[in-house]
Amino acid sequence: MKARRVVVTGLGAVTPVGNDVQSMWGNIIAGKSGIDFVTRVNKDEFPAKIAAEVKDFDPLLYMDKKDARKMDLFTQYAVAASKMAVEDAKLVIDEKNADRVGVWIGSGIGGMQTYEDQFRRFMDKGYRRVSPFFVPMMIPDMAAGQVSIQLGAKGINSCTTTACAFGANSIGDAFRAVQRGDVDYIITGGAEAPITNMSFAGFSSMKALSFNEDPTSASRPFDKNRDGFVIGEGAGILVLETLESALERGADIYAEIVGYGATGDAFHITAPAEDGEGAARAMKQALETAGMSPNEIDYVNAHGTSTELNDAYETSAIKQVFREHAHNLAVSSTKSMTGHLLGAAGGIEAVIAIKTIEEGIIPPTINYETPDPACDLDYVANEARHQKVKAVMSNSLGFGGHNAALIFKQYTN
């Protein structure tokens, strides 16, 4: 059976730089940062003082109060972004197609705030005071579960948990599900709400976070003076469907998804493989599955976390894969503005990659001031660039040695 072509027809986002795709995109191309002093935890108790928090999010715009109370924040973000994406796709889910509509939404940490709140309640007042909704609010798959329930999607319902790569892995796995015929439509991406005391403590203890106390300049991917990532939160969701169904119902097509690579480092629990060896293999796989040559990629939305090893090794990986074309590529990290949404970054960055193709504008890497000899590519420093973009690769790399690369290209008949 010939693999079916898969296109993107809907986008949804809840982010630190805007709670819908239009707002997010406008701020991204303007180079506006969503990073500020953290408010979800007491910053005086931690060496890290800043975070990229979602602002002014109202779950009741997307669900009733009773349902919202049964969801951790990461699930609320997922439901909101999914409803936006389905509405954007003008996809009606009813008894005629419900079993052909899937959901594949990842989360890495899941309901961490729920866990912390209920653990305190258990320690203070005993098990009888623990909420009966504790487990279904906490488990990482509940974003996918609740989206399915809220939207009536009865096809494959799954959750990928691969640390900071799960958003991209979810989209790639969903792409394959549509491609091979498991479903005709799928709602996919990632959601995360990790800004809690224990998360902040854990990442601070391992010295992964930036200890810079200037919110506007702390996230500086590929800059020589980078000192760690800035933790963020939110959700990024796509609607994927077969080209045949999109054409049949007259849907607007943002882009075609054509490539997916996923590899393991087999190296270290947190550090990336030396010189980005695993990331390079993921990028090569994505190109091979897309049937594309390296010089057909115009832009790489990099994982670019603003950490010492990631940025240097990802640069090395790009050079291994693209060789002489590497220095002709535009490469940028939008984490300079959104912070690092952990695995949800892959969902948000897929939305950004697709908007880059649609709008012909490449987002910048802000705060790029001091070049690092180990990071010597074109990082679209500080200002967006107007440029026709036909194909984009989006990279996501996670603790545990998880590597994922996606390729989106301009749709043509």
CA 331, CA 195: separation in Å to the nearest integer?
28
Predicted confidence at residue 3, as pLDDT, reads 87
Dihedral sign for Cα atoms in the order 81, 82, 84, 89: positive
Share above pLDDT 70 across residues of the chain, in percent, rounded to a whole number: 100
User: Residue 177 region, left (φ>0) first, then alpha (ψ -120 to 50), else beta?
Assistant: alpha
| pLDDT attached to residue 302 | 98
pLDDT exceeds 80 at position 292: yes
Comparing CA positions, the residue from 4, 77, 18 lying closest to residue 352 is: 18
Identify the pLDDT of residue 199: 96
340 counts as catalytic:
yes
7-413 belongs to which homologous superfamily? Thiolase/Chalcone synthase (3.40.47.10)
Task: Map tokens 């075609």 to a residue.
Answer: 256
Domain spans of the chain, in order of start: 7-413
150-173 pLDDT per residue, tens: 999 999 999 999 999 999 999 999
Mean pLDDT, the chain, integer: 97
- Give the angle 19-12-290 at the CA atoms, nearest 5°: 135
Residue 261 has pLDDT above 90, yes or no: yes
**Over residues 195-215, mean pLDDT:** 95
Contacts of 125 (CB under 8 A, 6+ apart): none
Q: Mind listing the pLDDT tens digit for each residue in 317-344? A: 999 999 999 999 999 999 999 999 998 9
Place of tokens 């866990």: 115
Strand 299-301 versus strand 330-332 pairing type: parallel
Does residue 224 carry a pLDDT above 80? yes
pLDDT band at 413 (very low <50, low <70, confident <90, very high): confident
Percent of the chain at pLDDT exceeding 90: 99
The catalytically annotated residue of 159, 268, 303, 375 is 303
Catalytic residue among 159, 325, 327, 340, which? 340
**pLDDT value, residue 72:** 98
Model pLDDT for residues 90-112, shown as the tens digit of each residue: 999 999 999 999 999 999 999 99
pLDDT > 80? residue 1: no
What is the three-state SS of the chain?
Answer: CCCCCEEEEEEEEEECCECCHHHHHHHHHCCCCCCEECCCCCHHHCCCCEEECCCCCCHHHCCCHHHHCCCCHHHHHHHHHHHHHHHHHCCCCCCCCHHHEEEEEECCCCCHHHHHHHHHHHHHHCHHHCCCCHHHHHCCCHHHHHHHHHHCCCCCEECCCCHHHHHHHHHHHHHHHHHCCCCCEEEEEEEECCCCHHHHHHHHHCCCECCCCCCCCCCCCCECCCCCECEECEEEEEEEEEHHHHHHCCCCCCEEEEEEEEEECCCCCCCCCHHHHHHHHHHHHHHHHHCCCHHHCCEEECCCCCCHHHHHHHHHHHHHHHHHHHHCCEEECCHHHHCECCCHHHHHHHHHHHHHHHHCEECCECCCCCEECCECCECCECCCEECCCCEEEEEEEECCCEEEEEEEECCCC
Q: Rounded to 10 degrees, what is the CA torsion of 221, 15, 236, 311? A: 10
Among candidate residues 159, 164, 375, 402, the one labeled active-site is: 164
Tens of pLDDT, residues 376-400: 999 999 999 999 999 999 999 999 9
- What digits encode the pLDDT tens for the residues 70-79? 999 999 999 9
CB atoms under 10 Å from CB of 412, counted, come to 6
Which residues on adjacent β-strands are paired with residue 6? 242, 257
State the Cα–Cα distance between residues 304 and 313, nearest whole angstrom. Answer: 10
| Nearest residue to 181 (alpha-carbon basis) of 257, 94, 245 | 245
pLDDT at 50 (0 to 100): 97
Q: Which residue reads 């809840």 in tokens?
A: 14
CB 5 within 8 A of CB 247: no
Q: What is the pTM of this model?
A: 0.97
pLDDT in tens, 5-58: 999 999 999 999 999 999 999 999 999 999 999 999 999 999 999 999 999 999
